[in-house]
Amino acid sequence: MRASGMLYRPVGLALGALGGAVAGALFTRAWKLLGHEGEAPKATDEERGWREVLIAAALRGAVFATVKAAVDRAGATGVRRLTGTWPG
């Protein structure tokens, strides 16, 4: 494993944890901005309809995937700046 890959591993783990927290906060905010009160439904929430459950799942997935891609890309860019090579 190259030095850049070894350096990226702990950086990636730390950024992943931070990214998860940020994504959760962004999703909660987006859910409320869409006019929904309270927490987003879980798939097994019997009181919520299919439409609401699926919209919440799609929004959550989009937010988490976007944040993960941004965090991964920023981490890899930072490692390249420090080591001169792209982690991989």
The two three-digit tokens of residue 45, written as one number: 């929430």
User: How far apart are the C-alpha atoms of 40 and 31, rounded to whole Å?
Assistant: 7
Q: pTM for the full model?
A: 0.81
Distance CA 23, CA 19 (A): 6
* pLDDT grade for 75, boundaries at 50, 70 and 90: confident
Comparison of pLDDT for 7 and 38, the residue scoring more: 38
Write the CA distances from 73 to 14, 28, 64, 70, integer angstroms. 14, 23, 14, 5
pLDDT tens across 20-62, in order? 999 999 999 999 998 887 899 999 999 999 999 999 999 999 9
